Amino acid sequence: MSQSLYNLTSAEVAACLARVPIAVLPFGSVEQHGPHLPNGTDTIAAEMVAEQVASELDALLVPIGPYGVTPIHAGHPGTVSLRRSTFEALLSDVCEEMVTMGAERFVFVNWHEGNIAAMDAVATDIQKLHDEVRVVTAHACYVAQRLYADQGGELTHGGGLEALAVLAFDPDLVHIERAGESTRPAKAAAMDAMRRSREVYGYITDVTEIDPDGWYGDPGWATAELAADFAPAVAAEIVSRVKTIFDLWT
């Protein structure tokens, strides 16, 4: 079991950070995911993986709240987006408090692409302010995309991998029957590939540019068998890379 800031006493938090000065923070968003998945899908996925990561690192799990930066889903019922300035202020304050408590390493576990710019800004700022502090960011959604690609898993909005994450958390929250036929607009995959490129990329400012209904993919790909190992599998990949990066700073 991970040690969550929420569940520990003050003395227990101090003892945890004195033993292992690592804080693991999950990041997601609250946004529409079609008629078949909950609005909190990204946060559910991030928190589930982060809990496993914290457990494997014997680190402190520091929940930061469900909301993220997601203006591209604005106007869809259930979507709640923070401004970048709000998100960055919240994250900065939490990190500063954790440094004061003794945290020297941070692991950011993210499932929502809209958070990336703000997370990167805060991570570099916190390292500049504190010479002894280092931050590693893990985009769990991309790790899952790589892990499950050979089995047909795709990182689409509301599709197979996101259905798999929620299925792993609580099958009662997944309503594949409401999704109807799997949807794949002609340019959807290309638009996602474009905005995720590491070399040359453009921007999506409204999810309906990808699909008029705000989601696409094949949520029916997700199965209970695959879901059983979802969080441990993604977390193991993240922990392995995190340890390698931490070793560079020792």
Residue 72 has pLDDT above 70, yes or no: yes
CA distance 197 to 99: 33
Confidence band of 156 (pLDDT split at 50, 70, 90): very high
How high is the mean pLDDT of the chain? 96
Lowest average pLDDT, out of 18-27, 94-103, 175-184, goes to 175-184
| CB neighbour list of residue 80: distance below 8 Å, 6 or more residues apart | 30, 31, 67
Task: Tell me the fold of 3-244.
Answer: Rossmann fold (3.40.50)
Confidence band of 186 (pLDDT split at 50, 70, 90): confident
pLDDT at 106: 98
Confidence band of 184 (pLDDT split at 50, 70, 90): confident
pLDDT at 68: 98
Buried b (16+ CB within 10 A) or exposed e, 220-247: ebbeeebbeebbebbbbbbbeebeeeee
Q: Quick one: which of 188, 246, 249, 181 has its CA closest to 220?
A: 181
Buried b (16+ CB within 10 A) or exposed e, 75-99: ebeebebbeeeebbebbbebbeebb
Residue 181 has pLDDT above 90, yes or no: no
Residue 125 has pLDDT above 90, yes or no: yes
- pTM score of the predicted model: 0.96
Residue 168 has pLDDT above 80, yes or no: yes
pLDDT at 35: 96
Residue 183 has pLDDT above 80, yes or no: no
Q: Where are the domains of the chain?
A: 3-244
pLDDT at 1: 60
Give how far the C-alpha of residue 90 lies from the chain's centroid of Cα atoms, to the nearest Å: 17
Residue 133 has pLDDT above 90, yes or no: yes
State the average pLDDT over residues 99-106: 98
Q: Quick one: which of 2, 15, 13 has its CA closest to 56?
A: 2
pLDDT at 245: 97
pLDDT at 91: 98
Burial class from Cβ neighbours inside 10 Å (0-12, 13-18, 19+) for residue 201 reads: exposed
* Percent of the chain with pLDDT strictly greater than 70: 100
CA distance 153 to 248: 32
